[in-house]
Structure 1
């Protein structure tokens, strides 16, 4: 077996006792007529809100004093207060975002301007909701294939009032990094996974689906999963030349 170095024990221990981005990487949910999915960001069995497919669009109904979505406009502007805005990866979601919804919001409603229709492929929805009477910011990852919407995962910052970036998996900023679509193999894996990127690994952040961080053993191209329980994990890997990748890994 390759010699593996232990990385980031002290930093990961610090993160475990501090704030975190909590990620819920659910089984992909594809919307169809009269289907719905509950979004429970903090995993307390009490959904923050529900999204469903009715009236030819994915929509959500909610109390705007407790929940809201980033929208393309505001009620005062006369357009877009009920049209969810698609966000690209790394877009900041914060108190400065436009949360214009009154009590309902929609993906691609019939009255939306064509420029506001969600693009094909992956994009994000920005949201906020109250926990213990304080606002928290989050993102929802959706995929559009034709006219079909699939919800893939969602996350929030567990520190009240603090921003989150669309697609952010931890509290480290992605600014200044090239984000690449990397694959590790084998996946699922029992012990070691190897990166397909030629650059050397400098830093690895490993979390489970609740946002809990784990110590990581790695060398220039491989990561050791042998010490982990079976399940799904999220890998954020930083390489030389300011490259980052985000990957779901299944430990057998």
Structure 2
């Protein structure tokens, strides 16, 4: 079964000091072939934050995390440094500034499991690890956010393994802890697919129109360019049309947050 399946995005909003943004991978995504992986995009900004992959070489088979780009600041909770690997977390384990983080891509400390014919087995995700979690720290702009990844792994043999990606979430409040498995207030979780939000016309000249937004008595809009730079923001919007004539031609991403939902979509400005 190939890695890249349809993903339905769900977002949970918590009142108070924290806001958990949760993505439910539905159906679960199974990766069981080497040189395949799963790209995790915590904040749905079309830029992958970290990849979980299966890799092999002559006499080597590994399951590990890798950064999207070499310069990315993404970390995983680790045990044992380079000689250890990614920690196996249980439901409600704390992920915060007090956790022992290791920079993904800086060595073998991001390893879940690996076997080298000339030296043996490494990592803590051995055998079957059912419904466990990875603790993650990553950057949005200049701020760190804490996050978790929910998965099940199977090591059948040194050259036969798989993982099942089930979901992930992060705390959208910078530097605020999150508990493994915390999806916020379950009564406030809604499934949002790319087809729920319609932007028209697309490409657009001056006036952009929105359709498909629920709970829309009032909402906030942010538009970023392809580099992630914020270029336009509207607060407390109460209509479905607005002017973007001041934007330069190019590709942009729009993020719309209502009282109960978050939408994200790409559009082109002529």
**Short-chain TM bin:** 0.5 to 0.7
Q: Report the alpha carbon displacement of residue 169 of structure 1 after superposing the two structures with TM.
A: 0.9
Structure with more strand by fraction: 2
Deviations 1:195-228 (A, max 9, x none): xxxxxxxxx6231257xxxxxxxxxxxxxxxxx9
TM-aligned CA deviation for residue 170 of structure 1? 1.1
Given candidates 95, 103, 113, the residue that maps to 1:93 is: 95
Q: Unmatched 5+ residue regions in structure 1?
A: 1-11, 172-203, 211-227, 230-252
1:136 aligned onto 2:145:
yes
Structure 2 partner of 1:179: none
How many residues are matched? 163
- Cα distance, 1:73–1:65 mapped onto 2, change above 3 Å: farther
Indicate if the aligned counterparts of 2:13 and 2:188 stay in contact, CA closer than 8 A.
no
Which structure has the larger Rg?
2
Give the TM-score normalised by the residue count of structure 2.
0.53
Residue 156 of structure 1: aligned partner: 170
Give 1:117 shift: 2.8
The CA distance in 2 between the partners of 1:20 and 1:68, in whole Å, is: 21
TM-aligned CA deviation for residue 102 of structure 1: 5.5
Q: Quote how far apart the aligned CAs of 1:119 are.
A: 4.2
In structure 2, do the counterparts of structure 1 residues 154 and 114 end up closer, same or farther at CA, with 3 Å as the change threshold? Answer: closer
Counterpart in the other structure of 1:69: 76
Which range is displaced more, 91-100 or 102-111? 102-111
Report the TM-score, using the length of structure 1 for normalisation: 0.56
Partner of 2:54: 53
Match of 2:239 in 1: none
Give me the whole-angstrom Cα distance separating, in 2, the residues matched to 1:50 and 1:144: 15
Q: Structure 1 residue aligned with 2:111, among 106, 117, 122?
A: 106
Asked if the contact 2:112–2:124 (Cα under 8 Å) also holds between the matched residues in 1, the reply is: no
The partner residue of 1:166 within 164, 176, 180 is: 180
Partner Cα distance (2:21, 2:127) in 1: 25
Instruction: Tell me whether 1:22 sits opposite 2:31 in the alignment.
Output: no
Give the match's secondary structure for 1:126: strand
**1:165-193 CA distances to partner (integer Å, 9 max, x unpaired)?**
0001117xxxxxxxxxxxxxxxxxxxxxx
